[in-house]
Structure 1
Amino acid sequence: MSVRDVYASALRAVRHVAAPYPVGDLPTGRALELPGRGTTFVVDDGPRDAPVVFLMHSVLTTGLLCWYPTIPELTDRYRVITMDQRWHGRGIRSDVFDLTDCADDVIAVADQLGVPTFTAAGFSMGGGIAQLAWQRHPDRVRGLVLCSTGPYFSTRDPDNLASAHRTGRRLQAARRLIPRVTGPGLDDTSGHTSVWALRQFFSTSLAELGTFGDGLGRFDSRDWLAEIDVPTAVVVSVHDRVVEPARQELLLDGIPGARRFDVQGGHACCVIGAERFVGPFGDAVDHVTAQVTVV
């Protein structure tokens, strides 16, 4: 997987946003200060006494852009939380982008919201963050739902990283043509879904493609997958050309008792063809939650 491939996939998703899921149904988010870390943007919706599902987004998106078709489908039975990860949207600004920091940010958000334990669900990059959240804070993560992701990202390949940095420099030079969107406009859901989605997409600096590649390339969970001891579901996008199914299946092979759920879609299936993603994802969350409840 190269970050340039993910960029192309994300942009296709923005161009083909799922019309059956109007953004007017989305809950309102807010800025949340994480002591000693910075400020991020958080959405927290659903019954306060329900099991908590923390949704972690893919690279080059935001919490809402990645999960907007899914959130309304879960909040009848779960408390659903998502956030903008570091360097994305309205996420924390820092000197370095690293998935371990992102995982610790998730725990810091849970602390501020008074959430002791939760199911960590991640899409693509978010799947790596979810795995790290369990590894670094096993007392907080009671279940995992890993979607269109794997135990490593091939951006660690030097050629992929060099390509991502070159693309980032070109985008930096052209940033006047693709300005970063900030401010209240990100919360405007009154227009067409695609307009809202484009605002969300361009709220992340595309000039940082190489930096994202560096951060993704440092992640590798293969040495400790077998240690994961919480109920886990792996949602496999069977037509994925970015994180190929064979790499997603390494999670099933490596995590004891992991259960497979298939989605007939590609890497942007959480948005493109979301009607095929939301059902299996909800089933995966229900499966993990039931196992957690039994334990």
Structure 2
Amino acid sequence: MTNPRSAAALRRFARRVPDIAEVPGGRLIDLPGRGRTYVVDIPGPEGAPALVLLHGTACTAYLNWFPSLAALAERYRVILFDQRWHGRGIRSERFSVDDCADDVVAVLDVLGLDKAVCVGFSLGGVVSLAAAHRHPDRVSGLVLCATPYRFQEKWRERAFHQAFGAFAAAVGPYSFRRIEEFAGRLPELPDIAWAPGGLDRWALTELRSTSGWAITQVIGEVGRFDATDWLSSLNMPTAVVITTRDRAIPVYRQLEMATAIPGATIHLVKGGHAACVLEADQFVPVLVEACGAVAARL
């Protein structure tokens, strides 16, 4: 049962985001040699460029992106999927950013696509960067939202991430067992519709589809990510969406990343780290603008 404080928070959430009736249906897809994940493929206009939307930590593809789908699908083929250890994403013995980056290409292979623009939010931005670095022939462009390019810069950050990484490593095997048990209790497919006024309950269900043990391992792994040495080598069209009220990813670090990637355009959102949902009215138009800036240069 949801306690009164949580219920009040969910009601505030529901008032701040669009209460649409449903999200597009998807299907479980096997990625050969990798595992199974839940993929949504919205066709968009004929011949439109393809976007792969990559969600943030502790989210699912639906929860991160549902306010943006209708606007993006007017102009693009839109693909989204649950990343490893999130929602109905791949369960593996360990979580790694490189595996997530390779999953992007595996999804493109299954869908018969040579290339796509990676659109990432936070963790999804990190995975987008890694995919562009590892597979520059498959990533035609980047849209990086609320994205860090490194974490361990200041001594407090180094202390936190090194300690957290050590803890995550110590509990890794136990985490994997708990995640497997947790995944076994999930319904095979997510709900894609809700009754009027039920958005808060739907969002809570999506949020609860990722285990806390998984989040521990994800944070432990992502904290080691550092693209400093190769950011300037990325040569695909890139747009950086900076969340100017972000308390999780410092604004100056987002700006540093934008200035380090040759030719990247900068797009500002007056919102925090959950702007993709909680300030969707501010975020979605800027996201569409950023995707348009990349598409125009493809």
Instruction: State the TM-score bracket (shorter-chain normalisation).
Output: 0.7 to 0.9
Q: Distance in 2 between matches of 1:161 and 1:200?
A: 30
| 1:128 aligned onto 2:134 | no
Instruction: Please tell me the residue identity of whatever aligns with 1:205.
Output: S
Deviates more, 1:110-119 or 1:145-154: 145-154
Q: Distance in 1 between matches of 2:105 and 2:258?
A: 25
CA displacement 1:135-163 (0-9 Å, x = unmatched):
11100111100000121134973434545
Other-structure match for 1:224 = 230
Equivalent residue of 1:200, what SS?
A: helix
Q: Is residue 52–residue 118 contact of structure 1 (8 Å, CA) maintained in 2? A: yes
Q: Is residue 115–residue 139 contact of structure 2 (8 Å, CA) maintained in 1? A: yes
CA displacement 1:83-118 (0-9 Å, x = unmatched):
100000000000110111001001000100011111
Q: Is residue 124–residue 148 contact of structure 1 (8 Å, CA) maintained in 2? A: yes
Other-structure match for 1:7 = none
CA distance 1:23–1:35, change in 2 (3 Å): farther
Other-structure match for 1:241 = 247
| 1:21 aligned onto 2:18 | yes
Q: Is residue 18–residue 271 contact of structure 1 (8 Å, CA) maintained in 2? A: no
1:134 is displaced (CA, Å) by 0.6
1:263 is displaced (CA, Å) by 0.1
Equivalent residue of 1:50, what SS?
A: coil
Instruction: Please tell me the residue identity of whatever aligns with 1:122.
Output: G
Equivalent residue of 2:40, what SS?
A: strand
Q: Is residue 22–residue 194 contact of structure 2 (8 Å, CA) maintained in 1? A: no
1:289 is displaced (CA, Å) by 0.2
| 1:186 aligned onto 2:187 | no
Equivalent residue of 1:183, what SS?
A: coil
CA displacement 1:179-222 (0-9 Å, x = unmatched):
77721573152231111111111100012333112210221111
Q: State which structure, 1 or 2, has the greater radius of gyration over its C-alpha atoms.
A: 2
1:253 is displaced (CA, Å) by 1.7
CA distance 1:14–1:277, change in 2 (3 Å): farther
Instruction: Please tell me the residue identity of whatever aligns with 1:77.
Output: R
Other-structure match for 1:138 = 136
Q: Distance in 1 between matches of 2:261 and 2:233?
A: 7
CA distance 1:90–1:117, change in 2 (3 Å): same
Equivalent residue of 2:240, what SS?
A: strand
Q: TM-score under structure 1 normalisation?
A: 0.86
Q: Is residue 186–residue 196 contact of structure 1 (8 Å, CA) maintained in 2? A: no
Q: Distance in 2 between matches of 1:206 and 1:139?
A: 35
Other-structure match for 1:259 = 265
| 1:61 aligned onto 2:62 | no
Q: Distance in 2 between matches of 1:182 and 1:57?
A: 19
Q: Is residue 54–residue 125 contact of structure 2 (8 Å, CA) maintained in 1? A: yes
Q: Say which of 68, 76, 88 aligns to 1:78.
A: 76
Report the RMSD for the aligned CA atoms in angstroms. 2.4
| 1:41 aligned onto 2:45 | no
Q: Distance in 1 between matches of 2:95 and 2:132?
A: 19
Equivalent residue of 1:94, what SS?
A: coil
Q: Distance in 1 between matches of 2:14 and 2:162?
A: 29
Query: Identity of paired residues, percent?
Result: 41
Q: How does 1:198-213 map to 2 (within 5 A)?
A: 198-213=204-219
Deviates more, 1:181-190 or 1:249-258: 181-190
Q: Distance in 1 between matches of 2:11 and 2:85?
A: 19
Q: Distance in 2 between matches of 1:137 and 1:241?
A: 31
Q: TM-score under structure 2 normalisation?
A: 0.85
Q: Distance in 2 between matches of 1:263 and 1:189?
A: 29
